[in-house]
Amino acid sequence: MPRPIPGPFDAARNGPQPGPRGTGARLTEVRCAVCGTESRQARFRPFPPEGAPDLDLRPGEPLRSTMASWLQQCPHCSYVAPEIAHAHPAAIEAVGTAPFRALIVDTAHPPLARRFLGYAYVLEETGALHAAAEATLQAAWAADDARKPDLARAWRGDAVALWRAGPPLDAEQTVRVVDALRRAEAFEDAGVTAEQLAASQPPEAVAGVIALELRLIALRDSGRHTVASALPPPARRPHATHGSIAKRSQGGGWWDRLRRLWRRDR
Ligand SMILES: [Zn+2]
């Protein structure tokens, strides 16, 4: 099975990992599961970011700037995955197809984005539509960094289509759909989706982020914002002490996980 791309939740789950700070990567000899070619690859080990994540959960710095290390790519067949030593049978087939080759060699796209799009294609072919959506969103992040707003908007739209084509989305994932739509300037769809989610009596944390999204949508603001803007100010949590805030006053759940994504409360 293709492993998921290390994302903010993985960093939260796995805790601090050894490895050079800023990359978390070490070079090892890896055998490609698709073509058998050996190459030296860095195995990325996520570490908890210090800055707040964006509303679409793109991690804060320093993890934010390590995207170039999140995927390995075979120098021979171009198979791309977090660990190319593993491949789903459908992935092996996907790497040989014309659409995969076309994505990998498309010089109109930033090189880092091509890798994420290639991985998204492989995931889509294995039927992992939500994981494919995640990889496509990451291509959009790479386009953001490369200052390609048109590509970033298009890939956010593609990510939303993949999310919606997959199994039903929970409230947390729907927030990310809303953010992707807003940042793609699909304000009407973003507004309708946000209103539906707000009307479904979501958990407090989700309601807080959705309230912020609705304000941004009303302002036609397609910019980047972090979850720190949606968090209740510390003054509103009088009983909280360091390390216990999320557990006691927010009832766990999303805030709890979000807070572990950066060091605000530590
Ligand atoms: Zn290969």
pLDDT digits (tens, 9 = 90+) for 121-152: 999 999 999 999 999 999 999 999 999 999 99
Alpha-carbon gap, residue 127 to 123, rounded angstroms: 6
d(Cα 257, Cα 266) in Å, to the nearest integer? 13
The rounded Å distance from CA 31 to ligand 1 centre is 8
Got the DSSP string for 75-141? Answer: TTT--EES-TT---HHHHHHHTSHHHHHHHH-TTS-HHHHHHHHHHHHHHHTT-HHHHHHHHHHHHH
Q: For residue 249, how far is the Cα from the chain centroid?
A: 27
| Percent of the chain's residues with pLDDT above 90 | 68
Distance 65 CA to ligand 1 centre (A): 26
> Is 26 strand, coil or helix?
strand
Ligand 1 centroid to residue 95 C-alpha, Å: 9
Tell how far the Cα of 9 is from the centroid of ligand 1, in angstroms.
28
| Angstrom distance (rounded) from CA 212 to CA 55 | 10
Q: How far is the CA of 216 from the centre of ligand 1 (A)?
A: 44
pLDDT band of 46, cuts 50, 70, 90: confident
Ligand 1 centroid to 46 CA: how many Å? 24
**Ligand 1 center from residue 127 Cα (angstroms):** 21
Q: Tell me, rounded to whole angstroms, the distance of Cα 214 from its chain centroid.
A: 21
pLDDT digits (tens, 9 = 90+) for 220-238: 999 999 988 887 655 444 4
Averaged confidence pLDDT in the chain = 83
Compute the distance from residue 120 Cα to the ligand 1 centre, in Å. Answer: 17
pLDDT of residue 240: 42
CA dihedral 81, 49, 141, 38 (to 10 degrees): -20
Quote the ligand 1 centre to 104 CA distance (angstroms): 13
- How many angstroms separate the alpha carbon of residue 88 from the centre of ligand 1? 13
d(CA 190, ligand 1 centre) in Å: 40
